Chain A
Amino acid sequence: AQSVTQLDSQVPVFEEAPVELRCNYSSSVSVYLFWYVQYPNQGLQLLLKYLSGSTLVESINGFEAEFNKSQTSFHLRKPSVHISDTAEYFCAVSDGENTGTASKLTFGTGTRLQVTL
């Protein structure tokens, strides 16, 4: 069984300030890791993912996340946030061993990032 913990339900931050959204996971097998973003009244969009290789992954809009196997974490960071980054962010895991079988994401409870001027 897999589980994901997002430690902060809400994170308020001023524009141009750095931010870190925390994510820890638990799994008896290896996992793939994802961050999704949800804007109001919309579905989820993939922000970035870790499958293998370099533990630091980046998105096109300035976010990055680092996979830390020993701490079972995949925290999301951005050095300078913008008003438009205000959204709900979800960390998710999928089975990294039975890769050809099923596409099932286990999500954390989400972190609402609120960026203000």
Chain B
Amino acid sequence: KAGVTQTPRYLIKTRGQQVTLSCSPISGHRSVSWYQQTPGQGLQFLFEYFSETQRNKGNFPGRFSGRQFSNSRSEMNVSTLELGDSALYLCASSWGGSYNEQFFGPGTRLTVL
């Protein structure tokens, strides 16, 4: 069974640009969550999508957005990039429900210059 895949694995952008990250969940999983990991703030929840609907959102500015497609693949977008957006962005998929294990992808390392 293929795991969670994230593309691209590495990205370098400059301030002010926008970026789109992609996540393909494990087949059959309908829930996709996104997390930001930084040395200073640790792992922080961005948002979760379930069956194309955003079910929960963390405390991030509106520059961070996401969506989910009918095949459960998800994208997150960050507009007007800031230096502080440099981070490892992790995607996780699950069957949905807070008791289910979340399976994490390898992450996308975003560097903003």
Interface residues of A, Cβ cutoff 8 Å to B: 32, 34, 36, 41-46, 49, 51, 90, 94-96, 98-110
Chain A: minimal CB distance from B102 (Å): 6
Q: What is the number of residues of chain B that contact chain A, defined by CB distance less than 8 Å?
A: 28
Asked if B97 and A100 make an inter-chain contact with CB atoms under 8 angstroms apart, the answer reads yes
Complex: chain B residue closest to A32, CB-CB: B99
Known contacts A43-B4, A43-B90, A103 near B104 by CB under 8 Å? no
Residues of B within 8 A of A90 (CB): 43
What is the interface of chain B mostly: helix, strand, loop, or mixed? strand
Asked if A104 and B97 make an inter-chain contact with CB atoms under 8 angstroms apart, the answer reads no
Asked if B33 and A105 make an inter-chain contact with CB atoms under 8 angstroms apart, the answer reads yes
Flag whether B28 is at the interface (Cβ < 8 A).
no
Chain B: minimal CB distance from A35 (Å): 11
Chain A: minimal CB distance from B72 (Å): 13
Asked if B104 and A94 make an inter-chain contact with CB atoms under 8 angstroms apart, the answer reads no
Asked if A94 and B90 make an inter-chain contact with CB atoms under 8 angstroms apart, the answer reads no
- Which of A32, A43, A108 is within 8 Å of B106, CB to CB? A43
Known contacts A43-B104, A95-B98, A108-B42, A103 near B33 by CB under 8 Å? yes
Residues of A within 8 A of B31 (CB): 103
